[in-house]
Structure 1
Amino acid sequence: MNAQQPDILVVGGGLGGVAAALAACRAGRSVVLTEETDWIGGQLTSQAVPPDEHPWVEQFGTTASYRGLREGIRQYYRQWYPLRSEALSLTELNPGAGRVSKLCHEPRVALAVLESMLAPHRAAGRLTVLTGHRPVAAESDNDVIRAVTVESLPDGNRLTLTARYVVDATETGELLPLAGVEHANGAEARGEFDEPHAPDEAQPLNQQGITVCFALSHHAGQDHTVDRPEDYAFWRSYRPDFWPGPLLGFEAPDPRTLESVPRTFVPNPSLDPLDVTADQSADAGDKELWGFRRILARTMHRPGSFDSDITLVNWPLNDYWLKPYIGEETQALREARQLSLSLLYWLQTEAPRQDGGTGFPGLRIRPDVTGTADGLAKAPYIRESRRIKAVTTVTEHDVAIDLVGPRGGTRYRDSVGVGGYRIDLHPSTGGDNYIDIGSVPFEIPLGALVPRRLRNLLPAGKNIGTTHITNGCYRLHPVEWNIGEAAGALAAHCLADDVEPHQVQADDQHFDEFARVLDRAGIQRHWPDVRGY
């Protein structure tokens, strides 16, 4: 393969990008995959966020390759970790026993499994992975992207890549403005799609907050207190108008009711991790912070193996929403990092304890877990992207349970996958509190992956044709993977059959041929009857 002229260029190595590259390579196509950080995997790795998934994930509702990723993570723990015999025998092992997911785990484990999934294609010469590269320019004419230029972050060298198909799998849809692709930012006006929760006027700078995550362990009797962060005085006194108290405090709104609810924080609780149930449909699990996103449970392993759990801090207390990330990336990221460091310092020095004291100096930030010098994640957890103006736009009227009823929702003739999650919007840069709306299990229409004008660009993540509102349920880990897998498969199919994405989407015969490709790959395109689950 000519590394500068692959069949398919995938820009962005998050979950959608990896899935797109895998699908294209499985079809025998040559692929270049670029990634800005030095870790592929996005949400699961460089952003350090355990997967958010629907309650039926162990039975159905994902692609076969995503199930393979999940099983690979479990098998990694079974093979290499000193699990108790009771844990080792669990088919549905939840390594961290976190409540947010049935599969809470460390970022490095996901990285190892993803690298393993890509390994045979790299060995065969079909796949080139360029980490530490970000897109800086794109050339297009006649509604076709001709070339994309990426810059090496370590040395500033630039490389121009050409490909028949280009997949934008970046976290914020970075190729869209570079290539002049019509897209939306922030919140659409209510009049555009008649969505009940949309604002009266368009608010392009109203974007969901980002979070700079970090991992913690706790070591009683030790002092791991960090230096006082530069912006600590600001964050210590900051109290949002819609918050029940200071942001750095254990009172926060319940995302579903907006009522003030106390959170508890007890490091290394005595509850047996095998007794933890992770089912967000029944209990969001976010009231007990240590166990919410725990990624390693010490007592799940043989005695003496670990002296502490490890928990992942992605809490209401460190959501950042003062500036929009898209448009003010540098300053927003700096302030979000300062917020997370300030939260750490507050926990170590001032947080109230159940014994009446203050501070947990034994909390230790874990650079070894995140792969960074300071212990903060390599990249911020980004919940909202630029979104293509697509052939099909998914709106509240397609998925919100209050509008479609419990057994409603739009069923698409061109469905390329499924997903399920509440419409979950975190506080935003426009001053909105949580917007949390019940939704029905949904389908992913191919039309949402097809730009209205561009002929060889495909999105592979949060940049598909959703709205500010419906992005809230289409943005999670298994859906991003499904979108990316469908995009990679579509690009390969179009090359093989000499058709274009618009033709595949619009023509029933062309779509039926592509649907058979997806079916053979184990991509579930419609939901079964879920009664009884």
Structure 2
Amino acid sequence: MTQQQADLLIIGGGVGGVSAALAALRRGTSVIMTEQTPWLGGQLTAQLVPSDEHRRIETTGRNRSYAQFRHLIREHYRTYYPLTAAARADEHLNPGAAWVSPLSVEPKVILAVLHSLLRPYEASGQLTLMLDTTPVAVHTDGDLVSAVVVRDRDGNGVELTAPFVLDATELGDLLELGGVEFVTGRESHAETGEPGAPETGDPLDMQSVTWCFAVEHRDGEDHTIDRPDDYGAFRDWRPPQLAGEKMLGFRRAAHDGSIAREYTLNVNADDDPFAIDVDHRNMGAAPELWNYRRVAARRQFEGGAYESDIVIVNWPMNDYAGGPLFGIEDAAAHWDRSKALSRSLLYWLQTEAPRPDGGAGWPGLRLTPRVTGTADGFAMMPYFRESRRIRAQRTILEQDFDRDLRDGRGAERYPDTVGVGHYYWIDRHATTGGSAGGGGLPEPFEIPLGALLPQRVRNLLPAAKNIGTTHISNGSYRLQPVEWSIGEAVGALAAYCLDRKIEPAAVSADSRELRDFQNDLERGGVQLRWDPALRW
């Protein structure tokens, strides 16, 4: 088996992994980064999820590096795409004109921008990038990770070593492989003291996953797929989480204080991209699905460039809560069923879904593999909302930032803050344990260093959704801009510790080291605090 080594090893090239790599590389650290799919970007690319962002993202509540990343995406469109004059002049260009995100774009554009950011370091040899590469073993020496063994798609194994290792995988794979203490699923009220936690915990009660796909609509054409073998079962499925509603249906019952919703679908409606309201608080009782996660709005481009809008289908109808995708023996079956649900949703949309004109189905809906980078037009992997989570030195709790539990004080101000984040909701989708999901309203929050430090292991750090959150607080800390900030913090921390020849726990334990590290973050453009006047 061959061996490679660097100053920092990052396993996982998703949002947090890339951000961590950039932070470390900009500080002179040599990095090896692996990614199990052919694409960097995780949620944003391989999982086809437009960035879920808060309403202040254009001006505050994000790091300078994330602002630069967003700017480069918009400049890519201005440079290479046939935008209309109005779209080109729009400071806050949103090519997809989606209401889910102020910057909803094709995943391949994000992929191009990420590679452009990393390419200078790869060209110089400071970065070694290994795609289609999966971790298969973690070697430890006491409380230290000594090596990670990975395999490429041809089965070739490589042993990777570095003084510091970041777990930026989508499911916290290194935690299990390396025997690092972690939690999964929901905690009990007795364990966390969270007012919203149930009386009993369940490590297998996890948020639903969504196997996204991309479609366009060709009027007058028939692109109906073959009827899936399990279509009848999914069409008639009424999961307990939906309070009697069918999974394949536009209606959703009220739960946990929410309102009942009757989603609408108006395929290729001739809507004005500048009239889209990206403030989720205004979604109302009848949200529109077509422009919900649209990544290319044809009216943003010169005539004829796009015959149809391009839409990512990440809707309530393909949120799969039939079982967890890790932690059980038959997890592989749930991987298959989550994709099968999405395939059945597509067939239902093409054949039986009620149309506004009283008819049924849109046979012109066509999968778009050119967008997804896959042969079938579905994402490379499901969209995961939960991961294994480290048992951290500090666990972020619901009562740290839930508006209704803070009595107007704003979120907890952590002395060891290393970043900030926000979202509209503490967003928990239906779960594998039968919960309908739901959650509170988050105040603009901080990311404490203690949540990034395992209780025992000294040289492994989480860099994605695997930080010290709970089942509840994960609902806001799992989103893309927050994951970017988490990655940047741990990448910078690894570089700082290498330079000082200390361990991460020492930074947390020493007030002078902590302040020096926070100063280093601020010099790099990291936002550590919110304006205290800002609220949800």
Aligned to 2:345: 343
What residue number does 1:215 align with?
214
The question of 1:452 aligning with 2:470 is answered no
Offset, 1:355: 1.2
CA separation in 1, counterparts of 2:494 and 2:290?
43
Q: Does the aligned pair in 2 maintain the 1:87–1:300 contact within 8 Å?
A: yes
Match of 2:415 among 409, 413, 417: 413
Q: 1:53 to 1:100 in 2, by over 3 A?
A: same
Q: CA deviation at 1:261?
A: 1.5
- Give a deviation string over 1:51-94, Cα, whole Å, max 9, x none: 01111000101011111111111111111111110110011111
| Cα offsets for 1:496-517 (capped at 9, x unmatched) | 0111100101110001111111
State how far apart, in whole Å, the 2-side matches of 1:406 and 1:427 are.
29
Taking the aligned partners of 1:13 and 1:57, their CA distance within structure 2 comes to 23
Indicate the residue corresponding to 1:357 in structure 2: 359
Task: Report the equivalent of 2:466.
Answer: 463
Deviation digits for residues 258-302 of structure 1, max 9, x if unmatched? Answer: 443211111111111122121124437971000111110001111
* % identity of equivalent residues: 50
1:369-384 mapped onto 2 (5 Å cutoff): 369-384=371-386
The alignment covers a number of residue pairs equal to: 531
Out of 478, 489, 503, the position equivalent to 1:486 is 489
> Which 5+ residue runs of structure 2 have no aligned equivalent?
none
- Asked if 1:499 is matched to 2:502, the reply is yes
Q: Which amino acid counterpart does residue 474 of structure 1 have in structure 2?
A: Y
Distance 1:459 1:242 in 2: 31
Are 1:512 and 2:495 matched, yes or no? no
TM-score (norm. length: structure 1):
0.97
Which residue pairs with 1:83 in the alignment?
Answer: 83
Tell me, yes or no, if structure 1 residue 192 matches structure 2 residue 194.
no
> What is the match of residue 170 of structure 2?
171
Classify the secondary structure of the residue corresponding to 2:427.
strand
1:432 aligns with 2:431: no
Residues 169-218 of structure 1: CA deviation (Å, up to 9, x unaligned): 00110000111111101111110111122121220000001000011101
Instruction: Provide the C-alpha distance between the structure 2 equivalents of 1:469 and 1:234, rounded to a whole number of angstroms.
Output: 31
Q: Deviation of residue 402 (structure 1)?
A: 1.2
Residue 250 of structure 1 is matched in structure 2 by 250
Contact preservation (8 Å) 1:324, 1:429 = yes
What does 1:379-390 correspond to in 2, within 5 Å?
379-390=381-392
The reply to whether residue 92 of structure 1 matches residue 95 of structure 2 is no
User: Quick check: 1:296–1:311 contact (8 Å CA) kept in 2?
Assistant: yes
Q: Which amino acid aligns with 1:193?
A: T
**SS at structure 2 position matched to 1:97:** coil
Q: CA deviation at 1:234?
A: 1.0
SS at match of 1:473: helix
Question: Over residues 223-245 of structure 1, what are the superposed CA-to-partner deviations in whole Å (9 max), with x where a residue is unaligned?
Answer: 01111112211101101224252
**1:296 alignment counterpart:** 296
User: Retained in 1: the 8 A contact 2:263–2:287?
Assistant: yes
1:141, distance to aligned residue in structure 2 (A): 1.6
Match of 2:476 in 1: 473
Deviates more, 1:242-251 or 1:504-513: 242-251
2:336 counterpart SS class: helix
Say whether the 8 Å CA contact 2:12–2:36 is kept in structure 1.
yes
**Conserved 8 A contact 1:407-1:440:** no
Residue 256 of structure 1 deviates from its aligned partner by 6.7
SS of the counterpart of 1:343?
Answer: helix
2:224 aligned partner: 225
Distance 1:230 1:71 in 2: 45
Deviations 1:301-341 (A, max 9, x none): 11121110011100000000111112244111100000000
Equivalent residue for 1:157?
156
Q: How does 1:22-101 map to 2 (within 5 A)?
A: 22-101=22-101
Aligned AA (1:21): A
Contact 2:264–2:286 (CA under 8 A) maintained in structure 1:
no
Amino acid corresponding to residue 308 of structure 2 in structure 1: S
CA gap of 1:469–1:284, structure 2 versus 1, over 3 A, is farther
CA contact (8 A) 1:424 1:473 kept: yes
AA aligned opposite 1:60:
T
Q: Is the 8 A contact 2:241 2:430 kept in 1?
A: no
SS in 1 for 2:135: strand
Distance 1:237 1:479 in 2: 37
CA 1:205–1:396 in 2, change beyond 3 Å: closer, same or farther? Answer: same
Per-residue displacement from partner, 1:10-34 (whole Å, max 9, x unpaired)?
0000000000111111111110000
Q: What is the CA–CA distance in structure 2 between the aligned matches of 1:286 and 1:29, rounded to whole Å?
A: 50
Between 167-176 and 223-232, report the one with greater CA deviation.
223-232
- Counterpart mapping for 1:385-400 below 5 A: 385-400=387-402
* RMSD, matched Cα: 1.5
Q: Could you tell which deviates more after superposition, 13-22 or 283-292?
A: 283-292
- The alignment's TM-score, normalised by the length of structure 2, stands at 0.97
What is the alpha-carbon distance in structure 1 between the residues aligned to residue 18 and residue 502 of structure 2? 24
